Amino acid sequence: MRFPSSFLFRPSFWAAFALSLAALDAEPAIWRNPTGTNVNSQGATTVFITFGGLKDQEPIEAIWCTRLVPAAPAVGQKCDPATILGQLPLRYDQSQLQGGVFYDVMSIPPSVSRKAFQLAETGENGTFFYVRRFRSLKGGPEEFVAVTCRLAGGTARVPLSLLDVQMRFLSEQPVGTVQPGSQLPLVEAKITYNGTGQLRGRWEIVRPGEDPPTSQDLLTEATLPPSLRGTQRRYTLVDRFSVFLAPGAGPLRLKGPDPSRFPTEGVGLYQILLRVEATSEREADSNAVEAGGLGGIIPAGGVAGFPMPVLKYFVGSAPSEGAREALGLLLPAAGAEVKAGEPIVFVWSPVPGASFYRLEVRDESGAEILTATLGEGVQSYRAPSWLPEKAKDGSVSWRVRILNSDGEPTGATDSRTLKIVTPQEQPSPSPSPSPAPAG
How far, in Å, are 247, 403, 404 from residue 222 at the CA level? 19, 40, 41
pLDDT, tens only, 374-433:
887 788 898 888 888 888 778 888 999 888 776 777 778 888 888 888 765 444 444 444
**CA neighbours within 13 Å on the CB side: how many for 417?**
10
The Cα 304–Cα 185 span in angstroms is 27
Task: Give the pLDDT confidence score for residue 327 in this predicted structure.
Answer: 61
The predicted pLDDT at position 108 comes to 92
pLDDT of residue 16: 42
Q: Which pLDDT value is given to residue 224?
A: 93
Pair type for strands 303-304 and 345-348: unpaired
- CA–CA gap between residue 261 and residue 272 (Å, rounded): 12
In the chain, how many H helices and how many E strands? 4, 31
Identity of residue 247: P
CATH fold group of domain 327-421: Immunoglobulin-like (2.60.40)
Residue 316 CA to residue 265 CA, distance in Å, equals 9
165 pairs with which residues across the strands? 191
pLDDT attached to residue 154: 57
State residue 349 phi and psi, 5-degree precision: -80, 150
In this prediction, residue 407 carries a pLDDT of 75
**Span 17-152: which CATH code?**
2.60.40.10
Q: Which residues contact 323 (CB under 8 A, 6 or more apart)?
A: none
The predicted pLDDT at position 353 comes to: 66
Q: Where are the domains of the chain?
A: 17-152, 161-315, 327-421
Which residues neighbour 277 within 8 Å (Cβ) at sequence distance 6 or greater? 200, 201, 202, 220, 221, 222, 302
User: Residues of the chain whose pLDDT is less than 50?
Assistant: 1-25, 318-326, 425-439
Dist. CA 20–CA 144, nearest whole Å = 15
- Residues contacting residue 88 through CB under 8 Å, at least 6 positions apart: 61, 62, 63, 106, 107
Q: What are the C-alpha distances in Å from 424 to residues 133, 391, 421?
A: 54, 17, 9
- In this chain, the answer to whether the domains covering 17-152 and 327-421 adopt an identical fold is yes
Q: What is the pTM of this model?
A: 0.66
pLDDT (0 to 100) of residue 203 = 98
pLDDT in tens, 196-213: 899 999 999 998 878 889
